[in-house]
Amino acid sequence: MSAIPRSLLQLINDLTQLPSIGEKSATRLAYHMVTQNSDSAKTLAQSIIKACNEVTLCSDCFALSESKQCSICSNTARDRKIICAVEKPIDLFAIEKLSEYKGLYHVLHGVWSPLKGIGRAELRIDQLLKRALDINCCEIIIATSVTVDGDATALYISKLLAEHGIKTSRLAQGMPKGGELEYADELTLSRAFSGRRPIIA
């Protein structure tokens, strides 16, 4: 017979299903919830249910939204001539935090991977193409991750859009801020070289 109450064991087990929460972290979190402040734990539970029920995908860009059209797609002040395609909704939040990009978005919800069955339909590429043609888009920035899959996705989409005369671009690749040459990996360094820019233009 375990010394841990059954409902607490269940809570620990459910918490370990979350990413990067192991058994020790789950135990500490569960213990905190039931002993320190069970009111705030119940508020958290209600927030989980509310967010799961209310958050859906924007019908235009497939970002997370509480309404049919997200706050960016429905914002008339945004530049409707440029679309930034990202892998995940969380990537969109990272770009929005910069407050620099003022265009629209398109969330792919994955990267092109025929072996895993993720292709044109799953990445909603036809919707991207249709939207780009509809709004007479000038440029699509493909901001997928700098990985083999991310690069392949960018290339695949670029070729497809080029057939329809739509211009695509990719985020600059090179040394990150604070990057020391000594520790840079070969790919980063190679791309930093090939993408070098004149200091005095």
For residue 77, the minimal CB distance to a second copy (Å) is 10
Q: 109: number of CA atoms within 13 Å, CB side?
A: 16
Decide if residue 68 touches a second copy (CB under 8 A). no
- Which tokens is 47 given? 């927030």
Interface residues for a second copy in 29-48 (CB under 8 A)? 29-35, 38, 40-48
Decide if residue 8 touches a second copy (CB under 8 A). yes
Which residues have a Cβ under 8 Å from the Cβ of 173 and sit 6 or more positions away? 146, 188, 191, 192, 195
> Could you tell me how far CA 189 lies from the centroid of its own chain?
25
Decide if residue 101 touches a second copy (CB under 8 A). no
Query: Interface with a second copy by CB under 8 A: which range of 92-100, 142-150, 157-165, 176-184?
Result: 92-100
Question: Measured between alpha carbons, how far is residue 20 from residues 16, 24, 25, 93, 145 in Å?
Answer: 8, 11, 9, 21, 21
Decide if residue 98 touches a second copy (CB under 8 A). no
Interface residues for a second copy in 153-192 (CB under 8 A)? none
Decide if residue 132 touches a second copy (CB under 8 A). no
- Which tokens is 66 given? 């509480």
Q: Which residues bind a second copy (CB under 8 A)?
A: 1-8, 10-11, 14-15, 17-21, 25, 27-35, 38, 40-52, 54-55, 63-66, 70-72, 75, 88-90, 92-93, 96
